[in-house]
Structure 1
Amino acid sequence: MKTLHLILSLALTVTLWACGSKAERNPNNDKADEAVVPVKLTPVQTVVRAEPVVASGLVSSAREARLSFKIGGIINQLFVEEGQTVRKGQLLATLDLTEINAQVSQAQLANEKAERDLNRVKSMYADTAATLEQLQNATTGTNVAKQNLTIAQFNRSYAQIRSTVDGTVTRKMANAGEMTSPGATIYQISSNRPNDWVVRVGVSDKDWARLRLGNRASVALDAYPDQTFNGTITELAQAADPVNKLYEVEVRINPGAAKLAPGLFAKVTLVPAQSRSYAVVPIEAIVEGNGKEGFVFVLADDKQNGGSLHVRKLPLQIGFLDNDKVLLTNGLSDSQKVITAGSAYLTEESSVVVR
């Protein structure tokens, strides 16, 4: 009898435990315990704008001269130093002319001898003592001697350096008494006229395709932090730089009353004439932003289920920031609404209620 009571007691205990476990695993109870996140919806707007292109570069002169001697030799004198202002045509440097003058004299003597030989052959040809071939050879020899004399005289005239622009000497790369080779730069001169200042920057192929000659630009210089200069695109490279794969853009600056110099660091904002449409959302709608990529949450449907809604996460491409707004290049249409308030607490499994 005691054994029967013990078996009935155990069976009742197991039955009560199973019922309790089933109640705990009831999905309706789970759903009731889920947290519903209150959110706010904001409509997606659309604007048409010309996205600016921002790049950096150095100020330089549009007219820069790298001056050198045509022939090699010993540098005799250098008449200007770095930082000096020079005028177009001003004598800057000379070579030692000892060897060069000797070459000119040698060419003159050779020319005189060739002329004497030609006259002698002409007389002999008139007396039938020389052939036509000899006369032709003497004539050719005289012409060659004259050309050699011209070359020697021309080289002597370029055994000096004269400035080709009005400007400032930015670099001097040799000293008197040094040996220089033909074409080696001795002076670098930058024009200092107000309308010759430019900034050259590199842009990507995507940005290059949107730019046109004459597009406006604004230039900010570290040397003048409280001033912005107006600029205009004057040159667009037709080939990418083989090293950095960027396309060079030249922006001519209007310096106004400011004093500029080569090498000043500049930040350039280029404004292309070609505009495009952008979707605009508040910056607080963006989650997991990383560079040009990000995500937003939108409602998965408009049907409420037990008073709550579901959400889904959409990827998008960020164009640029405009104060508290984000301009998007793709990912949303103007008919959608994005979740702003409460988006930081959401996952794709979250249930929400619109407040």
Structure 2
Amino acid sequence: MNPKLITGLILEKQNKIIRKLMRIYIHLLITTFFWISCTEDIEHIKPTVTSMTESVYASVNVMPQDVYFAYAAAPGILEKVYIEEGDTIFENQRLALIQSDDSKINIDNAALGLEIAKEKFTGESNILKSINQEIEALIKQLELDSTNYFRQNQLWNQNIGSKSDLDNKKLKYELTQNNLTLKRKQYDQTRLDLENSYKKSQNDLKRARSNLIDFEIRSKINGRIYKLYKEEGELISLQEPFAQIGMSGEFILDIIIDEVDITRVKTGQLALVALDAYEDQVFEAEITKIYPLKDNRTQTFQVEGKFISSPSVLYAGLSGEVNIVLSTKEDVLTIPLNYLIEGKRVKTKDSEIEVEVGMKDLNRVEIISGIDSSTILLKPQ
């Protein structure tokens, strides 16, 4: 074969290979440019090494200490309301009066009955004085009958007088003696009856007044009126609260913990509180009480906390979030929580990688294995 022809064929083949390589190279350049352009649009980060605190997240509400709902002990119409929302009150203060005409009539009747019973028992014209006067008369009569009988008996012993005169005087003496005994018994029994009647009337008045107390709503504590649910003239039942009352100026944190986290929460743990009313501020608190019964409706437990450092101004009902600190670790490889896919994978430019995670907080998660601090992660779309 002609050497020139062979050389031409070789050169042509080399040119084809070069053109093919150039197309591949250009394709790679375009692909790389496209990937760089895309990754510039897609958020990406590298894991960071930092300290991390493991905590339990929960919602929180600020509530007055010793808060309770005041209820009526008897149904009826609110005749008078003596307080307003925000008022400071003291223990046993009367807050409202429920209309109770029948109870007032019962008190008047009981008071009248007591007055009558007292007059019968201790009054100037009581029956005991009348009986006592009869007793005094019988005592005098007995002295007279006794004198007559013993004088007649002496005469009889001297054979003076008749047997019938002696028997009559003896009979009269014994009859007066018996009447005096009966009258004294009557006095004792009457005195006992009148005394018991007087005591009963006293108890009746106490009971009537006690029943009237049921128509009053009083405070159990020194505190403040945070909410009134009823106004004057409205009907109130036994099931309806009249007011919400709590300590004035003393607040607790009402924390709701999910069932899956409750076993990790202990009293004495530090809690970091962020209230919606105080943006970008965190306040320290301490877990003080864990209620043992689960709310089956919400599958949660109630926990109480108390501020260690509190805001200068607090209002009942302020809400926010709380992180209950469980433990703290140093030099932890972490990524933002929103870069974690389904709790176990992360996305790179090439593929999704499965990772082993550790502790979490509100924003970040610990990465135990699967990637390192040089891995570029793309934010899931």
For the superposition of Structure 1 and Structure 2, which TM-score range results when normalised by the shorter chain?
0.5 to 0.7
* 1:70–1:183 CA contact under 8 A, matched in 2: no
Q: Does the CA-based 8 Å contact 2:47-2:375 persist in structure 1?
A: no
User: After superposition, what is the alpha-carbon deviation per residue over 1:156-178, rounded to whole angstroms, capped at 9, x for unaligned?
Assistant: 23533343334432221222223
The aligned residue for residue 94 of structure 1 is 97
Amino acid at match of 2:341: G
Whether the 8 Å CA contact 1:75–1:94 is kept in 2: the answer is yes
Contact 1:173 1:186 in 2 (8 A): yes
Letter in 2 for 1:236: I
- Bigger-Rg structure (1/2): 2
One-letter code of the match for 2:89?
Answer: R
The answer to whether the aligner puts 1:263 opposite 2:317 as a matched pair is yes
Are 2:285 and 1:231 equivalent residues in the alignment? yes
Deviations 1:277-318 (A, max 9, x none): 89954539x98612xx21369xxxxxxxxxxxxx99646345
Paired AA for residue 365 in structure 2: V
Deviation at 1:199, TM superposition (A): 1.9
**What TM-score, normalized to structure 2?**
0.55
The CA distance in 2 between the partners of 1:91 and 1:215, in whole Å, is 40
Q: How many residues align?
A: 270
Q: Are 1:239 and 1:247, in contact at CA under 8 Å, matched by a contact in 2?
A: yes
Contact 1:64 1:188 in 2 (8 A): yes
Q: Could you tell me how far apart the structure 1 residues matched to 2:265 and 2:203 are?
A: 51
Give the AA of the match of 1:79: Y
CA RMSD of aligned residues (A): 4.7
Equivalent AA in structure 1 for residue 356 of structure 2: L
Name the amino acid aligned to 1:104. Answer: I
Matched, 1:338 2:371: yes
Determine if the alignment matches structure 1 residue 54 to structure 2 residue 57. yes
Deviations 1:113-147 (A, max 9, x none): 99989x99xx9x99999xx9xxx999999987765
The separation in 2 between residues aligned to 1:141 and 1:56, in whole angstroms, is: 63
Matches within 5 A, 1:105-116: 105-108=108-111
Which digits, 9 at most, give the CA deviation of each residue in 1:9-33, with x for residues without a partner?
Answer: xxxxxxxxxxxxxxxxxxxxxxxxx
Name the aligned partner's letter for residue 327 of structure 1: E
Conserved 8 A contact 1:76-1:95 = yes
Aligned to 1:295: 345
Distance in 1, Cα, partners of 2:329 & 2:305: 26
Amino acid corresponding to residue 80 of structure 1 in structure 2: I
Verify the 8 A CA contact 2:357 2:365 in the aligned structure 1. Answer: no
Structure 2 CA distance for partners of 1:146 and 1:319, relative to 1, 3 Å = same
> What aligned pairs does 1:171-182 form with structure 2 within 5 A after superposition?
171-182=227-238
Q: Distance in 1 between matches of 2:210 and 2:277?
A: 46
1:213 partner letter: T
- CA deviations 1:88-127 (Å, max 9, x no partner) are 144432233532211223445667899989x99xx9x999
Does the alignment pair 1:153 with 2:245?
no
Matched residues in 2 for 1:190 and 1:211: separation? 26
Contact 2:48 2:335 in 1 (8 A): no
Residue 79 of structure 2: aligned partner: 76
Cα–Cα, structure 1 residues 46 and 69, in superposed 2: closer, same or farther, change >3 Å? closer
Provide the C-alpha distance between the structure 1 equivalents of 2:297 and 2:271, rounded to a whole number of angstroms: 26
**Following the alignment from structure 1 to structure 2, what is the Cα–Cα distance between the partners of residues 103 and 145?**
12
User: How far apart, CA to CA, are the structure 2 residues paired with 1:227 and 1:175?
Assistant: 39
Alpha carbons of 1:248 and 1:65: their partners in 2 closer, same or farther (altered >3 Å)?
closer
SS in 2 for 1:200: strand
Q: Quote how far apart the aligned CAs of 1:207 are.
A: 2.2
- The aligned counterpart of 2:242 is 186
- TM normalised by structure 1 equals 0.58
- Point out where structure 1 has 5 or more consecutive residues left out of the alignment: 1-41, 298-310, 345-355
Instruction: State whether residues 294 and 318 of structure 1, in contact with CA within 8 Å, keep that contact through their aligned partners in structure 2.
Output: no
C-alpha contact 1:70 1:155 (8 A) present in aligned 2: no
In 2, distance between residues paired with 1:227 and 1:44?
24
Partner Cα separation in structure 2 for residue 283 and residue 223 of structure 1: 29
Amino acid at match of 2:266: R
Deviations 1:143-198 (A, max 9, x none): 877655433211223533343334432221222223333464222223222xx212
**Unaligned stretches of 5+ in structure 2?**
1-45, 132-181
The 2-side partners of 1:280 and 1:138 are apart by 90
SS at match of 1:238: coil
After TM superposition, the structure 1 stretch with the greater mean CA deviation from structure 2, 217-226 or 152-161, is 152-161
Deviation at 1:202, TM superposition (A): 1.5
CA contact (8 A) 1:65 1:164 kept: no
| 1:270 partner amino acid | I
